[in-house]
Chain A
Amino acid sequence: MFQCVNSDCGACLNRRFYYVLFTAFLSCLLFGCAASETFNPGAEIVLVSREDGSGTRGAFVDVTGIRAEDSNGQTVDLTSIEAIIANGTNIVMTIVAQNPYAIGYISLGSLNGTVKALDIDGTEISVETIQSGDYRLSRPFIAATRSDVSLAARDFLNFIRSGAGREVIQNAKYVAVSDGAYEVTNGLSGKVVIGGSSSVSPVMEKLKEAYRVLNPGVEIEIQQSDSTTGMLNAAEGILDIGMASRPLKDSEKEALFPIEIAHDGIAVIVNRENPLESVSFDQVKAIFEGLALTWDDVSVAPPR
Chain B
Amino acid sequence: MRVVFMLSALISVLAVFLICVFLFANGFPAIAKIGAGEFLLGRNWRPSNDLYGIFPMILGSLYVTAGAVLVGVPIGILSALFLALFCPKSLYRLVKPAIELLAGIPSVVYGFFGMVVLVPWVRRSFGGHGNSILTASLLLGVMILPTIINVSESAIRAVPRSYYEGGLALGSSHERTSLFILLPAAKSGVFAGIVLGIGRAIGETMAVIMVAGNQPRLPNGILKGVRTLTANIVIEMGYAAELHREALIATGAVLFVFILIINLSFTLVNRRD
Q: CB within 8 Å of B: which residues of A?
A: 2-5, 29, 32-33, 35, 37, 44, 46, 51-54, 70, 74-77, 81-87, 91, 94-95, 98-99, 198
Complex Cα–Cα for A198 and B152 (A): 50
Check A33 against B117 for contact (C-beta < 8 Å).
Answer: yes
Chain A residues whose C-beta falls within 8 Å of the C-beta of B171 in the assembled complex: 2, 4
Q: List 11 A-B contacts (CB under 8 A).
A: A5-B173, A35-B124, A53-B47, A53-B240, A83-B215, A85-B214, A85-B235, A95-B119, A98-B116, A98-B130, A99-B130
Task: Encode contact with A along B66-108: 1 for CB under 8 Å, 0 otherwise.
Answer: 0000000000000000000000000000000000000000000
* Complex contact A98–B216 (CB within 8 A): no
Candidates A32, A37, A77, A91; contact of B121 at CB < 8 Å? A32
Write out the residue numbers on chain A whose beta carbons fall within 8 Å of the beta carbon of B170: 2
CB of B131 within 8 A of CB of A84, answer yes
Q: Is the CB of A51 within 8 A of B236?
A: yes
Q: Are B239 and A54 in contact (CB under 8 A)?
A: yes
Is residue B125 within 8 Å, beta carbon to beta carbon, of the partner chain? yes
Q: What is the CA–CA distance of A201 and B56 in the complex, to the nearest angstrom?
A: 34
B217 at interface by CB-CB < 8 Å: yes
Q: Mark B118-147, 1 if CB is under 8 A from A, else 0.
A: 011101110001110000000000000000
Closest approach, in angstroms, between the C-beta of B108 and any C-beta of chain A? 11
CB A98 to nearest CB in B, in angstroms, measures 5
On chain B, the residues within 8 Å of A75 by CB distance are 48-49
Chain B residues in 8 Å Cβ range of A98 = 115-116, 119-120, 130
* Interface residues of chain A: helix, strand, loop or mixed (majority): loop
Set of chain A residues within 8 Å of B240, measured between Cβ atoms: 53
* A3 and B173 form a contact (CB under 8 A): yes
> Cα distance A4–B174 when bound, in Å?
10
Contact of A51 among B129, B210, B239 (CB under 8 A): B239
In the bound complex, how far is the Cα of B168 from the Cα of A4, in angstroms?
Answer: 11
CB distance from B256 to the nearest CB of A (A): 22
When the two chains form the complex, which single residue of A5, A46, A76 contacts B46, counting CB atoms closer than 8 Å? A76
Residue of A with least CB distance to B176: A2
Contact of B236 among A37, A52, A77, A84 (CB under 8 A): A52
A198 to B241, CA, bound (A): 13
Query: Is B115 touching A91 in the complex (CB atoms < 8 A)?
Result: yes
Task: List residues of chain B with CB within 8 A of the CB of A35.
Answer: 124
Nearest residue in A to B121 (C-beta to C-beta)?
A32
Q: Please name all residues of chain B whose beta carbon is closer than 8 Å to the beta carbon of A46 when the two chains form the complex.
A: 129-130
Residues in A with CB closer than 8 Å to B210 are: 91
Top 10 A-B residue pairs of the complex, sorted by shortest distance between their CB atoms: A53-B239, A85-B214, A87-B235, A84-B213, A2-B171, A51-B235, A81-B217, A32-B125, A2-B172, A46-B129
Contact B215 A81 (CB under 8 A): yes
Q: Check if B214 sits within 8 Å of A94, measured CB to CB.
A: no
Residue of B nearest to A50 (CB): B235
Chain B window 157-175, contacts with chain A (Cβ cutoff 8 Å), 1 for yes, 0 for no:
0000000000000111100
Min C-beta distance of B242 to chain A, whole Å: 12
Task: State A119–B17 Cα separation when bound (angstroms).
Answer: 55
In the bound complex, do residue A29 and residue B47 qualify as a contact, i.e. CB atoms below 8 Å apart? no
What is the CA–CA distance of A174 and B236 in the complex, to the nearest angstrom?
25
**Complex CA distance for A33 and B122, rounded to whole angstroms:** 9
A230: shortest Cβ distance to chain B, in Å? 14
Given the complex, which residues of A lie within 8 Å of B173, measured CB to CB? 2-5
A155 shortest CB reach to chain B, Å:
32
- Cα–Cα distance between A101 and B123 once the two chains are bound (Å): 11
Q: How far is the CA of A53 from the CA of B173 in the complex (A)?
A: 62
For window 225-273 of B, CB contacts with A under 8 Å fall at 225, 227, 234-236, 238-240, 244
Decide if A85 touches B129 in the complex (CB within 8 Å). Answer: no
